[in-house]
Amino acid sequence: MSLYTRHILPRMMDHVMSKREVEELRPGVLSGVREPVLEIGFSTGLNLPHYPESVCRISGVDSNPGMTRRAKSRIETSRIRVKTLALEPNGGLPVEDNSQESVVSTWTLCSIRNVDFALSEIERVLKPGGRFFFI
């Protein structure tokens, strides 16, 4: 993984995605989230303060370890316990079928090469009646 991917991109994304216009959208998108929660593209943890009070735990997955490293301080100070997961070697989600009440993806789908596969994985892991929350 390049220096850019590990260090520069996470800082840049954190700065851009912290802008007021972006932050204002997060609470509305996340308001109906229920546990268990899987956040795809966990990134630097910017969604953490915007989850409903009823959410105490989430699992987060990101393909860039630099993002997760940058999220460490947010995870440590959050009221929400975060379990970070690695993608499967084939890019699959590392959770059981029909196991998630909510899947969250904010500003991530545009960076996924095979969106059809990603959406099929989301469908696979959602419980019947589960919901996909995305921007």
CB 29 within 8 Å of CB 88? no
Q: What is the CATH number of the domain that holds 51?
A: 3.40.50.150
Instruction: Give the model confidence (pLDDT) of 114-134 as tens digits.
Output: 999 999 999 999 999 999 999
pLDDT of 66 reads 79
Q: What is the mean pLDDT of residues 56-79?
A: 90
Edge-to-edge order in the sheet of strand 126-134: 81-85, 57-61, 37-40, 100-105, 126-134
Mean pLDDT in residue range 68-95: 92
pLDDT score of 1 more than 70:
no
pLDDT tens digits, 50-67: 999 999 999 999 988 778
- Which of 45-49, 51-55, 71-75, 79-83 is predicted with the least confidence, judged by mean pLDDT? 71-75
Q: Residue 10: is the preceding peptide bond cis (ω within 30°)?
A: no
Range of the domain at 30: 3-134
**Total structural domains in the chain?**
1
What's residue 68's pLDDT? 79
